[in-house]
Amino acid sequence: MTTKNTIQSKTRVLLALWDLGGIKQQVSKGLLTKRIVSKTKKVADYQGIFEELQKQGAIAISKKGYSLISPKGLEVLGEGLRSDGFKFEGTIVGTWAANALVKWISQINVGVASADVAVNGKTGAIASYDEFKSAALEVYDKLNYEYNFNNLVPIYRIRREIGDRVSRTEFSKWLLEMQEKDVLQLMAGEMRDITPDKRDDSITVPGGGLRYYTKLLNS
């Protein structure tokens, strides 16, 4: 797949996922593929696209489906739509795509602007342990509920969900502090689909090695 086609395919996937509510909930694989796969392509043609978007931190993939990760997913989608290499294939634009673009344009100031603000640190930035604790617990509950993690939420998912609102160093420091204060427990365990980027986005406990999961302790 050429670079131009890759941009088109990635943007098509992200636009469909966003339009289906993937920023707030998980979208089933069947529903997403039905939306994006055209007559000239197969589901297998998009496998590499899904993997690349996952590596970028734009989407999350589970056995049940896909979800769009904020703010990275919105950033990549916005860049794709503005790219010179993006255009719809064929002579007819699907109704879903046209409606999704109209919705994107109407909400762009709310969606992408808020993501940009968080990244730039003007608002939404986490400046203290208490703010981090509140954000981390909110993300923990959200991920645990949406993906049925059975109270063992992957640390890399929490880190990516919080994103650039906090530095990597402060994320690790404050998460360790939450363990020290018995708010949660950092656990090793086995991660079947471990990749180098997921390992990097987990956390190393001084003298204790890598921790992949976190479990909320009963208060």
Q: What is the CATH number of domain 3-120?
A: 1.10.10
pTM of the model: 0.47
How far is the CA of 25 from the CAs of 17, 54, 57, 143, in angstroms? 10, 16, 16, 10
pLDDT of residue 192: 82
Domain definitions of the chain by residue range: 3-120, 129-216
Residue 80 carries which side chain, given as an amino acid letter? G
| Average pLDDT for the chain | 81
pLDDT band at 180 (very low <50, low <70, confident <90, very high): very high
3-state secondary structure of 194: coil
Alpha carbon distance 161, 167 (integer Å): 13
Alpha carbon distance 216, 138 (integer Å): 11
134 or 87: which leads in pLDDT:
134
Pairing assessment for the beta strands 184-187 and 153-154 based on DSSP bridges: unpaired
112-125 pLDDT per residue, tens: 444 444 444 434 68
Element (H, E) at 67: strand 65-68
pLDDT of residue 110: 45
172 or 113: which leads in pLDDT:
172
How far is the CA of 30 from the CAs of 46, 122, 202, in angstroms? 13, 39, 30
Alpha carbon distance 12, 31 (integer Å): 14
pLDDT over 50 (residue 188): yes
Q: Closest by alpha carbon to 204, among 171, 172, 170, 169?
A: 172
3-state secondary structure of 60: strand
pLDDT of residue 122: 37
pLDDT of residue 114: 47
Provide mean pLDDT across the span 128-148: 90
42 or 170: which leads in pLDDT:
170
